Amino acid sequence: MKKSTILLALVSVMAVLAVIGSGCLSSGEALPDADEKLAGINYVNIYTDKENVIAQLEVIIYGTNAQSLNKEKIVADIDGNNVNIRVPVTESGSVNTRDIGYETVTVILGTKDKFKAGEKYTVIVNENKIKTLEFEFVDGTMYSYRPASIDQMTVTVDGKDIVVDALVAIGGGANSIDTENIRTSDKFDSENNYEISIPLKTRDGISTMEMKWGNEKFVVGQIDKLTDGTYQVLINDQIVSFTIANGVLTQNV
């Protein structure tokens, strides 16, 4: 074999080993910093301008002297009907979780023509560990959906019906309870839990600033058909519990 052929083969092998050893990523991927973590997110709002769909996020900074928002590495990509947002923070030292700050950032999710009318898109922030919401375009107007905030829940008995009354914080004039998409359990499960989902619907655009509330009532069972014990009703992220003893219902504080 010629010396030139041997030399070329050795160069090729060394090049392959160099790539393997370097840990190079495929095109378009960024090498994460060793001290990089996913940020905590307080809330996410979705709105549009003339051309784009935009997410506004309030980022939680744990340990403001040690943790900082890595703005240059915030990315968003559309994957089918999922829109994934990655918001990293960099830690330069020990984090004091009692030292908390907040920073608001905006991220362009894509131009409006990237999203098909009438289809719902799910926004997933930091691998779905923090916040998830949905949005869609209807007749050219964007609507976003999120779990409604529940201010208060009470349990009463009306005849034989066990009734849960939820006070829902609706917010400004652009918001409303998405009554068509409220979901409830059929009955209490084996652990005596009953789940209800109440979504809030927000119309894109300028919203009035007054605060509105709404009431939603649900019959979750009949008192004469439930055995004595403690039961829980879960509405979004809130829980109300009650106890039945000798046919009498008492709401637990």
Q: What is the pLDDT of residues 5-16, one digit of tens each?
A: 433 343 333 333
Same domain, yes or no, for 153 and 143?
no
Assess whether 135 and 157 both reside in one domain: no
pLDDT for res 219: 98
Q: Do residues 80 and 109 both lie within one domain?
A: yes
For residue 23, is it within any domain?
no
Has residue 103 got a pLDDT over 70?
yes
Q: Are residues 128 and 211 in the same domain?
A: no
Is 110 within a domain?
yes
Q: Examine residue 115 and state whether it is found in any structural domain, yes or no.
A: yes
Q: What is the pLDDT of residues 175-196, one digit of tens each?
A: 999 999 999 999 999 999 999 9
What pLDDT is stored for residue 129 in this prediction?
67
Give domain status of residue 14, yes or no. Answer: no
215 and 162 fall within a common domain: yes
Are 46 and 124 in the same domain?
Answer: yes
**For residue 22, is it within any domain?**
no
Question: With contact defined as beta carbons under 8 Å apart, do 87 and 126 qualify?
Answer: yes
Asked which of 147, 164, 197 is the last residue of a domain, the reply is 147
117 & 153 share domain: no
Are 183 and 136 in a shared domain? Answer: no
The pLDDT of residue 199 is above 70: yes
Question: Within a 10 A sphere around the Cβ of 103, how many other Cβ atoms?
Answer: 16
Shared domain for 187 and 141, answered yes or no, is no
Look at residues 98, 116, 147 and tell me which one is the last residue of a structural domain: 147
Q: Is a pLDDT exceeding 60 seen at residue 54?
A: yes
Judge whether 246 lies within some domain.
yes
Q: Is residue 216 part of a domain?
A: yes
pLDDT at res. 67: 81
Provide the pLDDT for residue 33. Answer: 52
Looking at the fold, whether 64 and 143 belong to one and the same domain comes out as yes
Sheet holding 75-79, edge to edge: 75-79, 82-86, 121-125, 132-138, 141-147, 199-203, 175-177
More confident residue, 205 or 46: 46
The answer to whether position 10 is within a domain reads: no
| Residue among 180, 165, 151, 155 nearest 216 (CA) | 165
pLDDT confidence of 35, banded at 50, 70, 90?
low
Task: Looking at mean pLDDT, say which of 51-65, 179-193, 202-216 comes out highest.
Answer: 179-193
Same domain, 127 and 171: no
Cα dihedral 88, 89, 91, 92 sign:
positive
The pLDDT assigned to 193 comes to: 98
Q: What is the pLDDT of residues 124-182, one digit of tens each?
A: 999 876 667 999 999 999 999 999 999 999 999 999 999 999 999 998 889 999 999 99
Kindly state whether residues 142 and 155 are assigned to the same domain: no
Question: Residue 195: its pLDDT value, please?
Answer: 98
pLDDT band at 4 (very low <50, low <70, confident <90, very high): very low
Distance (Å) of CA 248 to CA 3, 149, 157, 183, 220: 96, 30, 9, 28, 16
Checking if the pLDDT of 3 tops 70, the result is no
Residue 233's pLDDT is what? Answer: 98
The number of folded domains in the chain is 2
Mean predicted lDDT score pLDDT of the chain = 84
The residue segments making up the domain with residue 60 are 36-147
Q: Which of 147, 178, 208 is the last residue of a domain?
A: 147
